[in-house]
Structure 1
Amino acid sequence: MSAKQPAQKKTHAMTVDVEDYFHVSAFDSLFSQKDWPNLEHRVDNNTRRLLDLFDEHGAKSTFFILGAVAEKFPDLVTEIDKRGHEVASHGFAHRRATTQTQQVFKEDVYRSKSFLEDTLGKSINGYRAPSFSINDTNEWAYETLVELGFKYSSSTYPIEHDLYGVPDWPRFKYDRPEGIIEIPVPTIRKNHKNKGIGGGGYFRLYPYWLSKRRIQKFEQEENAPYSFYFHPWEIDAEQPRIKDAPVLSKFRHYVNLSKMEGKIVQLLKDHQWDTMQSVYLED
């Protein structure tokens, strides 16, 4: 009798929102686009560190690249693609879609998508709104995304949060009536509420064993892939400190930066990772 084979790991989707530390929504009131050229840019080196980590652990990822980053570092875009990862759009200027008119939104996303496609010579299928900023007030964003040729979006987080969240929206991949697929950030159910387990600040704040247990709960209870998101600046404990930011914003941005890379390495070891396109759109 042959020995029992170990259970094969499920394949989940790794995603990276490629933006610099000064692009984040929490610092919107402190920096405008005209300030960006005078700030220290760290996203190129941080993202290349992630590419090396992913290579080391055999992981593939979808990189939702901010257009402003792509235009400044076009070689980074081609390097991500060359290493076998999926390039997707994060819009251009990291302005929340809820603060834009439909026309401004369209111009922002078009600028990003067209630059990425011109740089790579192929179509871009995925989009993620800054700060998961599609909700009941701007569902027209999906019409625009379809018009621009996107196949899927990952722009909603079905939790209660002071900055974003659509707790009553679907928790799993679904077809929108506009003709596009929406892939929400993963959640688990606890006390009749959705709890975020998709990455970002939650992952930095909690000890790794707790995050691991919550991901395992999702795997055991839900017949769906898991996806994870984070940012290149989250592995950069040496980034400049924004002294004038609100206290809560500084806590959320800087908590456990020095521990994040080690947690990511452990996450890469514990799970099998591929792109959003491969995990959610390809049978």
Structure 2
Amino acid sequence: MNILTFDIEEWFHFLDNASTKTENQWKNYEIRIYQNMDRIFEVLEATNTKATFFVLGWIAERYPEVVTEICNRGHSIGSHGTSHQLVYEQSKEIFRLDVDRSIKTLEDISGKKITMFRAPGFSITEKNKWAFEVLYELGIEIDSSVFPARRAHGGMPSYHIAQPSILKYNGIELKEFPVDTHNVFGRSFVYSGGGYFRLMPYSLIKKWTAADNYVMSYMHPRDLDANQPMLRGLSMARKFKGYIGLNSSQQKFTKWLTDFEFIDLNTASKRVDWNKVEIVNLD
């Protein structure tokens, strides 16, 4: 089962970067969301693929027609929060207000109930598992925030299964679709989204996709934007991670969707027998 998702944010929404951290700073950058969404829609139409779009509330508030177009094209939507901040840098109440605001905005525009969520940067970690309680209380039923490996923004390597599962924490349950990993000589590798996808050669992506029975792709509009400006002040490492592979990413991505069938998250959830999946207790 290959699942296609997008995190809908602007090209300058870099995490852990001082010059792009606040909403007040974002107005200093050019708008590229329209052309980048058109590029995504073009690829999806050409490959007859449906996807789930985790939309940032900030995007929805300023460009509601983006949400409308996603819905009109038959894709599903979920929340990506409002202000694109790392969850582990927020208090429980600030996180609640941030997600609640995004849900209400998306529901008002789409006319549909929002029951899916992904945290910016997969930033729900071992230290802020209370976020799952907040999501449950806000009506989220399906989460895709778990990154079951180590990464710059923490990750949750103790989440020992990279498969659809039931997440249990402090008396609540969520249907969890974590990022997938591919095991090579006992090490877990991620390849199905963002900089990992742009970095990996397509031959390896194709080989691992064919071998794995579960792939959770997560792309951003900027991942297919070869002409985006270079943000100032980035370290060499951040420049590498943020801009590697952009020139070939759209062609590679289109090839991926041509070679394999991908489905949206709602369709995937209907195909899962939730009575038989593993339960992961995080208490």
Q: TM-score, normalised by structure 1?
A: 0.91
Q: Distance in 1 between matches of 2:192 and 2:16?
A: 19
Counterpart residue number, 2:101: 111
Is the 1:17–1:231 Cα contact (8 Å) retained in structure 2?
yes
Counterpart residue number, 2:175: 181
The 5 Å alignment of 1:237-248 reads: 237-248=226-237
Query: In the alignment, does 2:165 pair up with 1:171?
Result: no
Q: Helix, strand or coil: the match of 1:23?
A: coil
Residue by residue over 1:65-104, the C-alpha shift from the partner in whole angstroms, topping out at 9 and shown as x without a partner, is: 1111111110110100110101111001110111110000
Q: Distance in 2 between matches of 1:209 and 1:231?
A: 21
Query: Compared with structure 1, are the counterparts of its residues 126 and 231 closer, same or farther at alpha carbon in structure 2 (3 Å cutoff)?
Result: same
The 5 Å alignment of 1:120-131 reads: 120-131=110-121
Query: In the alignment, does 2:204 pair up with 1:204?
Result: no
Counterpart residue number, 2:276: none
Q: Distance in 1 between matches of 2:112 and 2:4?
A: 21
Residue by residue over 1:135-190, the C-alpha shift from the partner in whole angstroms, topping out at 9 and shown as x without a partner, is: 11111111110111011110011112233321221321211221211110001122
Q: Distance in 2 between matches of 1:142 and 1:124?
A: 16
Is the 1:62–1:275 Cα contact (8 Å) retained in structure 2?
yes
Is the 1:62–1:86 Cα contact (8 Å) retained in structure 2?
yes
Match of 1:161 among 142, 145, 151: 151
Extract unaligned runs of 5+ from structure 1.
1-10, 220-224
Extract unaligned runs of 5+ from structure 2.
273-283
Q: Distance in 2 between matches of 1:281 and 1:140?
A: 27
Counterpart residue number, 2:49: 59
Residue by residue over 1:198-249, the C-alpha shift from the partner in whole angstroms, topping out at 9 and shown as x without a partner, is: 2211111111101111212213xxxxx3221111011112111112111111
Match of 2:251 among 243, 249, 262: 262
Query: In the alignment, does 2:188 pair up with 1:194?
Result: yes
Query: Compared with structure 1, are the counterparts of its residues 179 and 31 closer, same or farther at alpha carbon in structure 2 (3 Å cutoff)?
Result: closer
Match of 2:142 among 110, 133, 152: 152
Residue 281 of structure 1 and its aligned partner are, at CA, apart by 3.7
Residue identity opposite 1:193 in structure 2: R
Q: Distance in 1 between matches of 2:217 and 2:256?
A: 10
Q: Distance in 2 between matches of 1:142 and 1:208?
A: 35
Q: Distance in 1 between matches of 2:92 and 2:22?
A: 21
Query: In the alignment, does 2:92 pair up with 1:93?
Result: no
Residue 197 of structure 1 and its aligned partner are, at CA, apart by 2.5
Counterpart residue number, 1:70: 60
Counterpart residue number, 1:235: 224
When the two structures are aligned, how many residues end up with a matched partner?
A: 268
Q: Distance in 2 between matches of 1:280 and 1:28?
A: 37
Residue identity opposite 1:235 in structure 2: L
Identical aligned residues as a percent: 34
Query: In the alignment, does 2:11 pair up with 1:17?
Result: no
Q: Distance in 2 between matches of 1:28 and 1:174?
A: 36
